Amino acid sequence: MVTSSTLEIIVASRRRRQKKYVLVVGALAVLLVLIFAITLSVGHSFTPPGDVLRVLMGEAVPGASFTVGQLRLPRALLGLLAGLSFGLGGVAFQIMLRNPLASPDIIGISSGASAAAVFAIVVLSLKGPIVSVLAVSAGLGVALAVYGLSFRNGVAGTRLILVGIGVSAMLESVVAYILSQAPAWSLQEAMRWLTGSVNGAQLDQSATLAIALAVCGGLLLSRARDIEALRLGDDMAAALGVRVSETRMIIIVTAVGLIACATAVTGPIAFVAFLSGPIAGRIVGDSGPVLLPAALIGAVLVLGGDYAGQFLLASRYPVGVITGALGAPYLIYLIIRVSRAGGSL
Amino acid sequence: MTTHSLIVTGLAAGYGDSDILHDLDLTVPAGKITAIVGANACGKSTLLRAMSRLLKPRAGQVLLDGKSVHKTSPKELARTLGLLPQSPIAPEGITVADLVSRGRHPHQGLFGRWTREDDEAVRAALDVTKTGDIAERNVDELSGGQRQRVWIAMALAQETEVLLLDEPTTFLDINHQIEVLDLMTDLNQTRGTTIAMVLHDLNLAARYADYLIAMTAGRVHVSGSPETVLTEDNVRQVFGLESRVIADPTSGRPIMLPLGRHHVTQA
């Protein structure tokens, strides 16, 4: 029977994909929990898991309460939330523009948010959520500007990326200029705005980010299937009943929101948005939507990178230095691969 | 089997500031195969895009069963009217089974719960297009002809009773072109699907279509049966080409022989 065997193949193939997807997401979640747990309990000193749990439950544990509750937890939480935000925002842009180079940290959105945050904090002496609001506005402004500057009979991905790289370079020099004019800035603080860092994290910083993640991330994930359909091309997605312009609008606003809110707190943690999607895509394959796995990868990169930067290397580095060291070779590889394939970018 | 009427009235549409289609009227006959032909840049693809809601008209309407497609919800429309665009993109590393399954998108809810009907639709699409044996292969590895069959399978999995195709035979070898067009005929005969496709090859269009629409400069120049549309006069007016039109000895349909400036011994 030809027909029944085709049906069997389809069902088997679908089951294989579902199983793999559950496995991949599950494994990433476990890995993330593991890194989170290690970050909480192993630093310069070791805190037994029992004590960590008791601190998390709100008990006062001599010694551990300060190390875990004041130092490690805010830092780990911020790393987790920023990583999720960067991963999700990055992959959404990459899918929408169908190009791994089109991530917000390459096309200037991160540097826009970063410049706005630095300006708000250093020049205007602002603090808290207002900084995030300014960063999001600046991120959206840059997204619009890059879009407008690359518009000529529609927007070609390549043109947008090149314009974005230019805009990004300009905004990074703005950040550097503001930092150089600021009198009393430590190297640590400067590094935050240049490569990104979760040093000196406070719990209330995580609160703003958690809200942004719940709203923007939730909206984005609820549209995961429509976003996935965009990978077939805008026309094909529309033919499948996806509201393409609406979906794009949602992606732009939510992804910029995620990236900018995270950037306003941690600075532009280098290449996390850029790396998460392709890594997730490689692992997930065709087994399911790449959004959630990319978010998890982003968090793994930030938490893992920060841990490595603090404890595994000879001297201490902010997380952005570590992720930057991972991301730069991949960027070069991508550009070489694309130009070998005969593309102009 | 239901039949759907697809009528275009006074349609003007285009990109940017300039219109490509001007005050265009046409009717796609229900339950038949229609081929749209015309010179490059006469607006064939634009017409398909406007008919399938991808492009918003500046004036006029596209009516599917009397209702404007631009006022129908995209998902609802996608369950009745399918479109295979000219260059769809296969995500890297995707398998045939997965790609074809994505044709079920408009039939699924928010969480994409998979039902028996979905499996059955994908199965039927793979069987009709004879792609069942490559279901587990990567789309990247396939030949051009196979890949086109897979895209058609995806459009079939969508189970629409009207199917629009933008140049489904372009870039295919002649044997694969015939294969695709035979497949369209099967589909039309067995499922009663109304098919409208843009074709480049006039002779294949006249051979496979029940109804031809010839376009020039964003308007319908002439439409009707292959015999009434594929004439020497029309070829001259639409393509600016001198030709002879004879009856195809194998099918009886008209066939166009271009004259050109060389090699013609008896005109």
Q: Tell me, what CATH number does A169's domain have?
A: 1.10.3470.10
* pLDDT at residue number A345: 45
Residue of B54, B38, B198, B19 lying closest to B62 (CA atoms): B54
B53, B93, B136 ranked by CB distance to A9: nearest? B136
User: How far apart, in whole angstroms, are the C-alpha atoms of residue B207 and residue B209?
Assistant: 6
Of A3-12, A73-82, A227-236, B128-137, the poorest mean pLDDT is in A3-12
**A325: burial class by Cβ within 10 Å (0-12, 13-18, 19+)?**
middle
Q: Which residues contact A207 (CB under 8 A, 6 or more apart)?
A: none
Average the pLDDT over A149-173 and give the result.
84
Tens digit of pLDDT for each residue in B129-168? 888 888 888 898 888 888 988 999 999 999 999 999 999 9
How many domains does one find in chain A?
A: 1
In a domain, A36, yes or no: no
User: How far apart, in whole angstroms, are the C-alpha atoms of residue B66 and residue B64?
Assistant: 5
Note down the domain range covering A244. Answer: 2-30+66-340
CB-based contacts of A310-315 (< 8 A; 24+ apart in sequence): A310/A43, A311/A42, A311/A43, A311/A44
* pLDDT at residue number A57: 84
Average the pLDDT over A275-291 and give the result.
88
* pLDDT at residue number A341: 61
Residue of B122, B108, B46 lying closest to B79 (CA atoms): B108
Average the pLDDT over A176-202 and give the result.
78
Q: Å from A1 to nearest chain B CA? A: 12
Rg for chain B, CA atoms, rounded: 19
pLDDT tier for residue A344 given thresholds of 50, 70 and 90: very low
Give the burial string for B102-127 (b: 16+ CB within 10 Å, else e). Answer: bbbbbbbeeebebeeebbebbbbbbb
Tens digit of pLDDT for each residue in B32-55? 999 999 988 888 889 999 998 888
Average the pLDDT over A95-108 and give the result.
88
Average the pLDDT over B116-127 and give the result.
89
Q: How many CB atoms lie within 10 A of CB A213?
A: 24
User: How far apart, in whole angstroms, are the C-alpha atoms of residue A127 and residue A139?
Assistant: 18
Average the pLDDT over A98-111 and give the result.
89
In a domain, A309, yes or no: yes
Which amino acid would we find at residue A281?
A: G
pLDDT tier for residue A184 given thresholds of 50, 70 and 90: low
Does the structure show a pLDDT above 50 at B171? yes
Average the pLDDT over A140-169 and give the result.
84
- Here the tokens at position B142 are 């396939």
Listed by number, the residues of chain B in 126-145 with a beta carbon closer than 8 Å to a beta carbon of chain A are 126-127, 132, 135-136
* pLDDT at residue number A141: 93
- Which one has a higher pLDDT value, A250 or A64? A250
User: How far apart, in whole angstroms, are the C-alpha atoms of residue A320 and residue A133?
Assistant: 23
Q: Å from A332 to nearest chain B CA? A: 20
- In contact, B166 and B83? CB cutoff 8 Å: yes
Chain A CB contacts of B88 under 8 Å are 232-233, 235-236
Domain B1-80+160-231, what architecture? 3-Layer(aba) Sandwich (3.40)
Does the structure show a pLDDT above 70 at A102? yes
Share of chain B above pLDDT 70, in %: 98
Which chain B residue lies closest to A231 (C-alpha atoms)? Answer: B91
Partners of residue B254 on adjacent β-strands: B247
A235, A243, A286 ranked by CB distance to B98: nearest? A286
Does the structure show a pLDDT above 60 at B1? no
Chain B CB contacts of A3 under 8 Å are 123, 127
Q: Which residues contact A260 (CB under 8 A, 6 or more apart)?
A: A109, A112, A113, A116, A132, A135, A136, A138, A139, A140
* pLDDT at residue number B87: 81
A229, A231, A235 ranked by CB distance to B85: nearest? A235
Where exactly does CATH 3.40.50.300 map onto chain B?
1-80+160-231
CA distances from A235 to A269, A278, A292, B132 (A): 34, 23, 25, 26
- Here the tokens at position A254 are 């939510």
Chain B CB contacts of A242 under 8 Å are 74, 105
Enclosing H/E stretch for B81: strand B81-84
- Which one has a higher pLDDT value, B17 or A308? A308
- Here the tokens at position B217 are 């400069």
This complex has an ipTM of 0.88
- In contact, A154 and B16? CB cutoff 8 Å: no
Enclosing H/E stretch for B27: strand B18-28
Tens digit of pLDDT for each residue in A216-238? 999 999 998 899 999 898 889 99
Chain A CB contacts of B122 under 8 Å are 10
Does the structure show a pLDDT above 90 at A194? no
Chain A CB contacts of B89 under 8 Å are 98, 231-233, 236
In a domain, A50, yes or no: no
Tens digit of pLDDT for each residue in B198-254? 999 999 999 999 999 999 988 899 999 999 999 999 999 999 999 999 999 998 999
Average the pLDDT over A44-60 and give the result.
86
Residue contacts between A and B (CB atoms, under 8 Å): 105
- In contact, B149 and B125? CB cutoff 8 Å: no
User: How far apart, in whole angstroms, are the C-alpha atoms of residue A274 and residue A301?
Assistant: 11
Q: Which residues contact B45 (CB under 8 A, 6 or more apart)?
A: B86, B166, B167, B198
User: How far apart, in whole angstroms, are the C-alpha atoms of residue B54 and residue B57?
Assistant: 10
* pLDDT at residue number B198: 95
* pLDDT at residue number A26: 96
Q: Helices A319-340 & A291-307, crossing angle to 10 degrees? A: 130
* pLDDT at residue number A210: 94
Phi, psi of B86 (to 5 degrees): -65, -45
- A330: Cα separation from own chain's centroid: 16
Inter-chain CB proximity B52 and A239 less than 8 Å: yes
